[in-house]
Structure 1
């Protein structure tokens, strides 16, 4: 697959950023992973592939590179289907789906008691 147009777009849009060559690397890596527009690739999978191939970025990590590619539409972000929303109590450090109202009430009472004391 020819990535020259995508890479040229990145170099035009982000020529002033030190991560421009890293962005070109990610475009090629995503293509070499065999992903097309209709397929999904997780950010963690890109990072794993980079680590496996011992590729070093000029910037700190792949996060900034991926953000830049998202902002100019070369990559697209999607949310997984299904209900994957979890309510987590920081106090209990566990998922409290189904117990939210009760936990909120208990935590508010504890907080109020703490303030009054």
Structure 2
């Protein structure tokens, strides 16, 4: 019953104002899956790839692809950086783009060690 009244309020808001006003009741309709999808779209743009690069598009939870496992590790690394100061509050925010710059494989290469004679 409460859901119907919330929808009714939204419909009336659209009719009288011509637009939907963002409120907490609207935010409740966003599911966990929708949030994950938004995050995945952001990540795919930051890496310059499509979903199929890491996922089996027939079963998105399938972890058999190597890039799926690598990306999970990188996501943990990014979260660790956010937890340790790269949260965007006083400095940069850790994201995939921070290293990848729109490429699946970052350009950074470690310097070659001097040869011992």
The answer, yes or no, to whether TM exceeds 0.5 is no
State TM-score, norm by structure 2.
0.25
TM-score by length of 1: 0.25
